[in-house]
Amino acid sequence: MSTPAPAAPAGRATYLRVLAVAEFRALFAAEVLSVLALVAVQITLSVLVFERTGSPLLSALAFALGFAPQLVGAALLSAAADRLPARSLMTGAQTVNAALVAGMSLPGAPVPAMLALLAATGLIAPVYQGCRAAAVAHVLPGDGFPLGRSLLRMAAQTAQIAGFGVGGTLLMVLPARTVLAVAAAMMAASALLILLGTAARPARRGSGPERLVGTSLSGLARALRIPRLRSVLLLTWLPPALVVWPEALAAPLAHGMGGGPVLVGLLLTAGPVGTVAGELLAGALLDAERRRRWMVPLALAVFAPFPAFAAAPGPVAAVALLGAGALGFGYTLALDALLLEAAPEEMRGRVFTLSSAGLMITQGAGFAAAGAVAEAVPPHLAVAAAGAAGLAVVLTAGRPFLRRR
């Protein structure tokens, strides 16, 4: 394909119209394959490393090392998302990821080398994600963009949950190294989908004489100096850092309620299920103007059930509270539209890279903070405290977007 013109159909954007765009379908399918492959890699490496070393710490690093380097990648490499053509960068990133995972599958690969290869995928991830988001803005202009981002989020979340099952099943029937080879093939297929299914478009800005790292750092600093963009980024990063607390504390919460692994699973899935339902409802029932008007109230609704955990609810009530609150995640559609508006066009890739990497880092920090607080207070009280803090954060960070009556 070589036509650079946006392909979104005319009329009000809907999920069905978005999915009717061939280029977006290619990006959507590539995302599903990529997430399935990454989750399979994390599970397989975690098992393989533990079998080899007997170290729970090194085994846990197999999960963490795919995410920890993302801030470094965003800070030092984000300019590539604007300086290189999107299709070339996305295809190249997925091809490199496939090669890195294939390297993990080589016989005799030492554990430190495998973990280093996984960390390298984390360096590449934010640049790929930022470039993909900017590409979606070309493929789905206007109100199609937040709906497309919503579908990609839902696909990634669903694929991540399914990926644990797929990875576990593959490990039951195949050697670990074969599973890694399968994951590498899935990433290569993702690259091929992007290469064949998306149009060739020029970079947003020329490469120029500036160095990649210097341009990346200066661009991120410039982004954070734009007041409205900074407000959008804060509302993107801060609430998720608190909303993950029930997930981080699912095991101790279930134990306190007298439940076991089944209850842990229900507590972990209540939020994702509610989130998908909330985004679908917001995208289907609200137009762009109403989504923006309801953005802050919906974000507040996410945290509204959390303080009820102070009363130590039972299992059914706890799962219902978390699922109901997650319906408020429809607020992210309006936030995506605001991010697109606030980002200068010539540095859109860097802004989306910063947004994605910052979200991963703040969520990781939220998991750590939840565990630290739960060392001092009962888990249900920690969740209640996260709810109170979340309400305060949304009111403060969302203040610039509240309409004056």
Two tokens at 223? 């982004």
DSSP string, 227-250: HHHHHHHHHHHHHHHHHTHHHHTH
User: Counting beta carbons within 10 angstroms of the beta carbon of residue 209, is it exposed (0 to 12), middle (13 to 18) or buried (19 or more)?
Assistant: exposed
The confidence score (pLDDT) of residue 52 equals 79
pLDDT score of 196: 95
From CA 324, how far away is CA 333, in angstroms rounded? 18
The sign one gets for the Cα dihedral 192, 193, 197, 202 is negative
| Tens-digit pLDDT string for the chain (405 aa) | 444 444 444 557 788 999 999 999 999 999 999 988 988 888 888 788 877 777 766 666 666 666 678 778 877 777 788 888 989 999 999 999 999 999 999 988 888 888 889 889 888 888 898 889 889 988 998 889 999 999 998 888 787 777 767 777 777 888 888 999 999 999 999 999 999 999 988 876 655 545 777 777 777 788 888 889 999 999 999 999 999 999 888 888 998 998 887 888 788 888 888 998 999 999 989 888 999 999 999 999 999 999 999 999 999 999 999 999 999 999 999 999 999 999 888 888 888 888 888 888 888 888 888 888 988 999 999 999 999 999 999 999 999 888 644
Q: What's the full length of the chain, in residues?
A: 405
Please give the pLDDT value at position 56: 65
What pLDDT, on a 0 to 100 scale, did the predictor assign at position 111?
A: 83
pLDDT in the model for residue 6: 47
Name which of 187, 159, 177, 179 is nearest 40 in CA terms.
179
* DSSP sequence for 3-63: --S--PPSSS--HHHHHT-HHHHHHHHHHHHHHHHHHHHHHHHHHHHHHHH--HHHHHHHH
For residue 70, give every residue at least 6 positions away whose Cβ sits within 8 Å of its Cβ, in sequence order, or none.
122, 123, 125, 126, 356, 357, 360, 361
Give the contacts of 378 (CB within 8 A, at least 6 positions apart): 256, 312
Angstrom distance (rounded) from CA 43 to CA 179: 10
Considering the entire predicted model, what is its pTM?
0.81
**DSSP, res 269:** H
Q: What is the pLDDT of residue 8?
A: 45
In this prediction, residue 395 carries a pLDDT of 94
Query: What structural domains and CATH numbers belong to the chain?
Result: 15-200 (1.20.1250.20), 218-401 (1.20.1250.20)
The two structure tokens encoding residue 113: 């080398």
pLDDT at position 60 is 62
CB-facing half-sphere around the CA of 134: CA atoms within 13 A: 36
CB atoms < 10 A from the CB of 342, how many? Answer: 17
